[in-house]
Amino acid sequence: MPPRISRSLLKPAPRASGEPVRTRKAEKPGSPPEAIDYGNLGNFIGYELRRAQMRLYDDFFRTTKGTGISPALYGALVLVECNPGVQQGHLGKALGVARSGAMTMVDRLQSLELVVRRPSPHDRRAYGLHLTAKGSRLAAELHRRIAAHDRRMGEKMTEDERRQLMLLLRRI
Amino acid sequence: MPPRISRSLLKPAPRASGEPVRTRKAEKPGSPPEAIDYGNLGNFIGYELRRAQMRLYDDFFRTTKGTGISPALYGALVLVECNPGVQQGHLGKALGVARSGAMTMVDRLQSLELVVRRPSPHDRRAYGLHLTAKGSRLAAELHRRIAAHDRRMGEKMTEDERRQLMLLLRRI
DNA sequence: TATTGTTATACTCTATAACTATA
DNA sequence: TATAGTTATAGAGTATAACAATA
């Protein structure tokens, strides 16, 4: 079964201008006057999963800063790179978004000049998606940065533990 | 250090009417004509984290169906329950959202008649948040359902493995 | 009739900024 | 001057529904 990237998990938002904003604690750095009781929240897998992903997203956005690429767009970029000529609709399905959502994503990638739509030779309704030269270059750069990012995410565990983590995550 | 629930990790959206919609694959059940190559995506911790959370969110929304409670609102409900009289702003900080976001969440909980704002005895600018009787009942019900949900999430691993997973997640 | 891309519309989530009452 | 709550506004993300062109 091919893995799927979920809509809800690729969400955090790039800005219109292309520059992701992560205004963590924009309001005030000061901590809440009284410690807050989180009850049973910390015993839930879902809670630790969320916290882990929060930290990971923070690092991801620092990693891709200046590129305008969110996790969702990176996923799309990888898919176009690995499947040159893929149809927009298929991309959307693979990413778990509706066609209109795929439309928006590809529009964005096109406006960043990373991806082009070329008429499909077989189906005059469809377009094939391809990386531009600029898109290829950025993809290569992002692969490097994101591989380093992913290593950082696992730097506090051994290689065995990392494998164990991946296995356990797949069992959820 | 008190745990924090991230804005970006509590995101998936409840509907205005209160009923969460999870139209997974609303477009077509059919699989893409050709298998799609996901490249190196599956070797990233972030990717597996996202997939795991996607599955978890699906189950969470099935679990809370009919209540209008999203993960974010459940978090808020727990915090109000565990910290009766907590100020809205402190709640927002604990949840990692701006004051206006806390406002929206509390408005929602109030419109669901789960939470009330009572004037603070010490500070005439502030309100204390409290569960209503209905809120207490729903919280109790949700605790049961979500505890079961969390057990389901870990049902494919041993108790030791679950503990290991929690430990590794905290190391990210 | 079904599918591809597209557009229009609507909704949630979240942020910033300005306003008010109070501290 | 700073803070608590509020309101207005804006942008991202995603969904559904309808449409034209094509299969």
Work out the pLDDT band at A34, boundaries 50, 70, 90: low
* Closest CA–CA distance from residue B41 to any residue of chain A (Å): 8
pLDDT value for B14: 31
**Do the Cβ atoms of B3 and A34 come within 8 Å?**
no
pLDDT value for B129: 96
Query: In terms of DSSP bridges, do strands A127-131 and A115-119 run parallel, antiparallel, or are they unpaired?
Result: antiparallel
* Closest CA–CA distance from residue A113 to any residue of chain B (Å): 22
Structural contact between residues A77 and A132, judged by C-beta atoms closer than 8 angstroms: no
**Do the Cβ atoms of B5 and A41 come within 8 Å?**
yes
Smallest Cα–Cα separation from A13: which of A59, A70, A77? A70
- pLDDT per residue over B87-103, tens digit each? 999 999 998 889 999 99
If one counts every other C-beta atom within 10 angstroms of the C-beta of residue A36, the result is 20
The whole-angstrom separation of Cα A12 and Cα A27 is 19
The whole-angstrom separation of Cα A41 and Cα A58 is 21
Read off the DSSP letter of residue A35: P
Q: Which residues contact A56 (CB under 8 A, 6 or more apart)?
A: A153, B45, B46, B49, B172
Measure CA to C1' and name the residue nearest C21. B125
Measure CA to C1' and name the residue nearest D17. A100
* Closest CA–CA distance from residue B139 to any residue of chain A (Å): 12
pLDDT value for B34: 62
CA of B128, C1' of D23: distance in angstroms: 62
Q: Could you write out the DSSP letters of every residue in B89-126?
A: HHHHHHHT--HHHHHHHHHHHHHTTSEEEEE-SS-TT-
Question: What percentage of chain A carries pLDDT values higher than 90?
Answer: 59
Query: In terms of DSSP bridges, do strands B86-87 and B115-119 run parallel, antiparallel, or are they unpaired?
Result: unpaired
Strand D, CB < 7 A, residues 31-50 of A: none
Work out the pLDDT band at A102, boundaries 50, 70, 90: very high
Using the Cβ of B85 and the Cβ atoms of chain A, whether some distance falls under 8 Å is answered with no
Nearest to B82 among A33, A37, A94 (CB): A37
Give residue A14's region: left, alpha or beta (phi > 0; psi -120 to 50). Answer: beta
CA of B26, C1' of C10: distance in angstroms: 17
What are the C-alpha distances in Å from A110 to residues A17, A73, A118, A155, B27? 14, 11, 12, 35, 24
What are the C-alpha distances in Å from A153 to residues A44, A149, B172? 21, 6, 5
Tell me the mean pLDDT in the region A158-172.
94
Read off the tokens for A148.
């380093």
Read off the DSSP letter of residue A127: E
Structural contact between residues B135 and B77, judged by C-beta atoms closer than 8 angstroms: yes
For B133, counting Cβ atoms within 10 Å of its Cβ (0-12 exposed, 13-18 middle, 19+ buried), the class is exposed
Q: Which of A30-44, A101-115, B15-29, B91-105 has the lowest mean pLDDT?
A: B15-29
pLDDT value for A35: 84
Tell me the mean pLDDT in the region B101-108.
95
Using a CB-CB distance cutoff of 8 angstroms, which residues of chain A are in contact with residue B31? Answer: 93
Q: Which residues contact B86 (CB under 8 A, 6 or more apart)?
A: A36, B79, B80, B128, B129
Output the CA torsion B4→A14→B50→A135 (10° steps). -150
Contact, A5 CB vs strand C, < 7 Å: no
- pLDDT per residue over A72-90, tens digit each? 899 999 999 999 999 999 9
Smallest Cα–Cα separation from B145: which of B66, B55, B84? B66
Strand D, CB < 7 A, residues 92-111 of A: 96-101, 104-105, 108
How long is chain B?
Answer: 172
Q: Looking at the predicted structure, is the pLDDT value of residue A6 above 80?
A: no
How long is chain A?
Answer: 172
Which SS3 state, helix, strand or coil, does residue B131 take?
strand
Tell me the mean pLDDT in the region A96-117.
94
Tell me the mean pLDDT in the region B67-76.
91
The whole-angstrom separation of Cα B14 and Cα B16 is 7
Q: Looking at the predicted structure, is the pLDDT value of residue A30 above 70?
A: no
